[in-house]
A and B are shown apart, each in its own frame.
Chain A
Amino acid sequence: MPRSRVAEVFADEWPVLVATLRRDLGDLGLAEEVAQDAFVEAAARWGPDSTPDRPGAWLLTTARRRAIDQIRRDKRFAERLPALADLASAPSRPESELIDDQLALIFGCCHDSLNAEAQIALTLREVCGLSTNQIADTFLVATPTMAKRLVRAKDKIRKAKVPFVVPEPEDLPSRLAAVLHVIYLIFTAGHTNSEGPALVRGDLCDEARWLCEILDRLLASRPPIQRGPAGGVDEVGHEDHETVAAGRAEVQGLLALMMFTDARRATRIDDGGRLVLLEEQDRGLWDQKLVANAQATLATALAAHHPGPYQLQAIIAGLHTTAPSWEATDWSAIGDLYGRLSVMTPSPVVSLNHAVARSMAEGPAVGLAALDELGERHELDDYRYFHAARADLLRRLESTDEAIAAYRRAIELGGNEAEQEFLRGRLRELGVTDP
């Protein structure tokens, strides 16, 4: 859907505006409110295709004016905020501060004192500029519920003084991992709810990719961290530079992972809304341009020589997406990569994927043995994909009764309509008349 010039400007300017105002005013809620007011005013004053020369400056001035009005009227703010005079005459900020303000906004929205749902909602509202209504729709909750979630999060931020700052180098890896996790959750949500309202950048998958791109750009544009004696020569701390480089490699890894996955979007669901397995997807319909893009992004990430879990997952996704067919996929390489991943970020799900890859490389009996061993730890008892994977291997080994039991267990454990229908289809193939 072609967007007006104004809509494009809004998409670009929103996070900068919110980040700057949050810094000015020291309050995220007020910042968001006056930013929204400024955008509403802009929509009314500008035509659909005419924007001022410096829209960011126009929006900031307008928002600040509204903030001053609010502060005058609401005593709550007057005590906590910087002097009005400072705000009114504040000069336009240098580029480097704008970068840090936006990074502070992203890291703040993903602070670990907030639960995952709150982090996701805040990031989508404050950074991506989605409306509360849009966020509610895409997560299939009622708008008042989502509104309350956002209010609660902003309340906690204010009352507990959750800091909105760029993390110190020693904290950067863990804080960045949290941000990447939020981005990946947004992407997965977009992937599952393939139907949703048209958003700023298309859909949640596009928002997630945009978040990765802006995060990488911001990290790249940061001036080197200055250390050294006051008045002395500014030095770039070597470890700080390496920390940022390692961070960017993972950001790019996640971006590549999402691009590889998106490249297969057209073939995930068939015309009847049914799930199509990777095994059966028409690879001719995959977006080769996006695949090429993903490969280039991954290559850049790997060139930094800072391996990480998202980069590993991206390599795996790349092997799938560039394989000419399911049979010709390099399963043994994928198995090795999952092996490495299970050392880096051990998790039952990674072990599950490892076992599945091994079943393809070494045969279903080997895979089943690996799955059964995993099953003894009982961490995946309620994970439908574990049972679906077991069922599939049992089916291939012609253990029909056990396969049926496993498919039934998988169905019991939920999943969306397309997944459930697929599993029922398998049961019918095995002769179950009433799955």
Chain B
Amino acid sequence: MRYLLLLYSAADAGPADGSPEQAAQMPKWFEFSNELSEAGSHLAGEALHGEETATTVRVRDGAPIVTDGPFAETKEVLGGFYMIDVENLDEAKKWAAKVPLAPYGSVEIRPIMEIDVPS
């Protein structure tokens, strides 16, 4: 069963970009990804550039509307994700708790909708 782990954190939470604290965190992220891969559960995982680099597109009445920034101003912003393949929600929760961001951010677990393609 596939899940997305969506990684959110507030702008002032966690180590600052480019800081030595952030550099010190990197091994923890590698360790997490490796553990996930070794368990055969890692499907994808990426860090995202900050919300200031976001662009949002909507189409209303046939016309595209482009805005600079994320879809909404939120206190915690999306910073990255993992796509995992595990047995059930309890397994997903265990991995979510291990994400290095979990102590200062929020990890949202979303089940992926498996659409059965009719044969």
Measured CB to CB, the residues of A under 8 A from B are 79, 111, 113, 159-163, 165
Could you give, for residues 80-119 of chain B, a 1 whenever the CB lies within 8 Å of some chain A CB and a 0 otherwise?
0000000111100100000000000000010101001000
Give complex CA distance A128, B89 in Å: 25
Contact in complex: B90, A159 (CB < 8 Å) = no
Contact in complex: B116, A163 (CB < 8 Å) = no
Contact in complex: B89, A113 (CB < 8 Å) = yes
Give complex CA distance A111, B93 in Å: 12
Contact in complex: A159, B116 (CB < 8 Å) = no
The interface residues of chain A lying within 8 Å CB-to-CB of B87 are 163
Contact in complex: B88, A161 (CB < 8 Å) = yes
Q: Specify which of A79, A111, A160, A163 is in contact with B111 (CB 8 Å cutoff).
A: A160
B1 is an interface residue with CB less than 8 A from chain A: yes
Contact in complex: B111, A159 (CB < 8 Å) = yes
- Pull 20 A–B residue pairs with CB atoms less than 8 Å apart, ordered by A: A79-B116, A111-B89, A113-B89, A113-B93, A159-B111, A159-B113, A160-B89, A160-B109, A160-B111, A161-B1, A161-B88, A161-B89, A161-B111, A162-B88, A162-B89, A163-B87, A163-B88, A163-B89, A163-B90, A165-B90
Nearest-neighbour CB distance to chain A for B99, whole angstroms, equals: 17
Nearest-neighbour CB distance to chain A for B56, whole angstroms, equals: 27
In the complex formed, the residue of A with least CB distance to B116 is A79
The interface residues of chain B lying within 8 Å CB-to-CB of A113 are 89, 93
The interface residues of chain A lying within 8 Å CB-to-CB of B1 are 161
Give complex CA distance A58, B90 in Å: 35
The interface residues of chain B lying within 8 Å CB-to-CB of A111 are 89
The interface residues of chain A lying within 8 Å CB-to-CB of B113 are 159
The interface residues of chain A lying within 8 Å CB-to-CB of B88 are 161-163
The interface residues of chain B lying within 8 Å CB-to-CB of A159 are 111, 113
Give complex CA distance A163, B94 in Å: 13
Give complex CA distance A160, B88 in Å: 8
The interface residues of chain B lying within 8 Å CB-to-CB of A161 are 1, 88-89, 111
In the complex formed, the residue of B with least CB distance to A171 is B90
Give complex CA distance A159, B109 in Å: 12
The interface residues of chain A lying within 8 Å CB-to-CB of B89 are 111, 113, 160-163
In the complex formed, the residue of A with least CB distance to B113 is A159
Question: Which residues between 42 and 99 of chain B lie within 8 Å of chain A, taking CB atoms?
Answer: 87-90, 93
Give complex CA distance A165, B109 in Å: 20
The interface residues of chain A lying within 8 Å CB-to-CB of B109 are 160
Give complex CA distance A15, B113 in Å: 30
Nearest-neighbour CB distance to chain B for A59, whole angstroms, equals: 28
Add 8 more A-B contacts to A161-B111, A162-B89, A163-B90 (CB < 8 A).
A113-B93, A159-B111, A159-B113, A160-B89, A160-B111, A161-B1, A161-B88, A163-B88
Give complex CA distance A163, B91 in Å: 9
The interface residues of chain A lying within 8 Å CB-to-CB of B116 are 79
In the complex formed, the residue of B with least CB distance to A167 is B90
Could you give, for residues 1-28 of chain B, a 1 whenever the CB lies within 8 Å of some chain A CB and a 0 otherwise?
1000000000000000000000000000
The interface residues of chain B lying within 8 Å CB-to-CB of A162 are 88-89
In the complex formed, the residue of A with least CB distance to B91 is A163
Nearest-neighbour CB distance to chain B for A79, whole angstroms, equals: 6
The interface residues of chain B lying within 8 Å CB-to-CB of A79 are 116
Interface centre among B1, B88, B89, B93 (most CB of A within 10 A): B89
Give complex CA distance A79, B113 in Å: 15
Give complex CA distance A159, B1 in Å: 10
Give complex CA distance A140, B109 in Å: 32
Give complex CA distance A111, B88 in Å: 13
Interface centre among A79, A159, A161, A165 (most CB of B within 10 A): A161
Nearest-neighbour CB distance to chain A for B115, whole angstroms, equals: 12
Nearest-neighbour CB distance to chain B for A71, whole angstroms, equals: 16
Nearest-neighbour CB distance to chain A for B96, whole angstroms, equals: 11
Nearest-neighbour CB distance to chain B for A27, whole angstroms, equals: 14
Give complex CA distance A98, B88 in Å: 22
In the complex formed, the residue of A with least CB distance to B1 is A161
Give complex CA distance A214, B71 in Å: 50
Nearest-neighbour CB distance to chain B for A358, whole angstroms, equals: 37
In the complex formed, the residue of B with least CB distance to A157 is B89
In the complex formed, the residue of B with least CB distance to A160 is B111
Give complex CA distance A142, B77 in Å: 37
